Structure 1
């Protein structure tokens, strides 16, 4: 297993750090049987990838053994955002049978945190995520780690997240403030409910912190039961 340095992990401001600590606490209060957690959104650009990765970091910093999996096989942004060498092997390589899992799993500069990047865009993302190899992988990781955090594509765009949800204990929905309608969010939630994956809650993201009132008081990210 190779090691990799991920830049920018500790550049969160005080409010953001506190928000992720609150999110981490609420995740832990969901119970010890909630270990495999997917993070999704209704549409692109709502911040789900940042939320999922920073949640994984926060859990690892609390002493939990965590593995983060980037399962957004169609349009991952993490390699570019954290300035990772684009030659890294990823989940696509493993699910396609090109690499062993040990070759796509990377230790990070955060203690207790391992990560698996998405890899190149495959011609059949849904089929790869729905195959037996992925199911067996999640079963194995569940027995090895305290938490498995999975970043998935927007549920309002493609079916991939619903496929991944079938292997998860719970889901977190990221919603960007003032960007999409309540009705669209509700319709997307219905898709997720059909998988029988428990909806743990929602994270309100991209809140304008210059505004006074409720949002400012709670640091711009709120976690609560749906």
Structure 2
């Protein structure tokens, strides 16, 4: 296995840090059988990749061995956002039979966290994510890692996430506050359920600060289920 240095975004503020800790705890309480988790969203820009990566790092902080897979083969910006300054192999190269799983898996400078990047954008991402090589990859990695977190494209645009979900134990939908309608979110959840994947819940993301302040006010109990749902799965 090769190694790579990654740079996570600036340190989290207290509320965000606690939210990710709560998200991690809720994932763990879903049961030991929930090992491979698909993270998706309804539309682009809702913050699913950040949530997936931060969740992975949070799980690794507890001493768990975690593999983060970037399966957004169509439009990933992970290499750039993590400021990776070396050439890396990725998932598309493994799924195409060009490289082995060992060659595309990178140990990071975050203790307990390994990463598989996307690799070059292929012409047939949906087909690759539903082929036997992807399923074999997950089955093999289950024996090595406590958790496998998979970042996938928005399900409101392409079917890739549903293909990935077929091989997962659970799925989490990241929803940006005040962006999507209830009806649209329900449509996305039904698509995941058709993949026979357990929908663990949703993460409400990018809640405005004026609402976050209310969390500490007299409306604590009522608002815990909405704004602070960034920690509720």
- TM-score greater than 0.5 by the shorter chain: yes
**Runs of 4 or more consecutive aligned structure 1 residues displaced over 6 Å after TM superposition:** none
Partner of 1:127: 127
How far did residue 222 of structure 1 move? 2.9
How far did residue 87 of structure 1 move? 2.2
Deviations 1:88-139 (A, max 9, x none): 1110111111111111111111111100011111000011111111111111
Partner of 1:104: 104
- Distance of aligned partners of 1:102 and 1:215 in 2 relative to their CA distance in 1, 3 Å threshold: farther
- DSSP-derived class of the 2:210 partner: coil
Flag structure 1 segments of 5+ consecutive residues without an equivalent. Answer: none
How far did residue 77 of structure 1 move? 1.7
How far did residue 75 of structure 1 move? 0.6
CA contact (8 A) 1:207 1:215 kept: no
- Distance of aligned partners of 1:215 and 1:126 in 2 relative to their CA distance in 1, 3 Å threshold: farther
Flag structure 2 segments of 5+ consecutive residues without an equivalent. Answer: none
Partner of 1:83: 83
Deviations 1:55-103 (A, max 9, x none): 0000001100110000000011211111113621110111111111111
How far did residue 3 of structure 1 move? 1.1
How far did residue 142 of structure 1 move? 1.3
Deviations 1:171-196 (A, max 9, x none): 00100001111111111111111011
CA contact (8 A) 2:215 2:228 kept: no
CA contact (8 A) 1:5 1:109 kept: yes
Does residue 222 (structure 1) correspond to residue 230 (structure 2)? The answer is yes
Does residue 157 (structure 1) correspond to residue 170 (structure 2)? The answer is no
Q: How does 1:140-151 map to 2 (within 5 A)?
A: 140-151=140-151
For residues 193 and 86 of structure 1, the distance between their equivalents in structure 2, rounded to whole angstroms, comes to: 39
For residues 184 and 118 of structure 2, the distance between their equivalents in structure 1, rounded to whole angstroms, comes to: 27
For residues 143 and 149 of structure 2, the distance between their equivalents in structure 1, rounded to whole angstroms, comes to: 14
Q: TM-score, normalised by structure 1?
A: 0.94
Partner of 1:5: 5
Partner of 2:60: 60
Partner of 1:69: 69
Moved more, 180-189 or 2-11: 2-11
Aligned residues: 225
CA contact (8 A) 2:71 2:151 kept: yes
CA contact (8 A) 2:20 2:231 kept: no
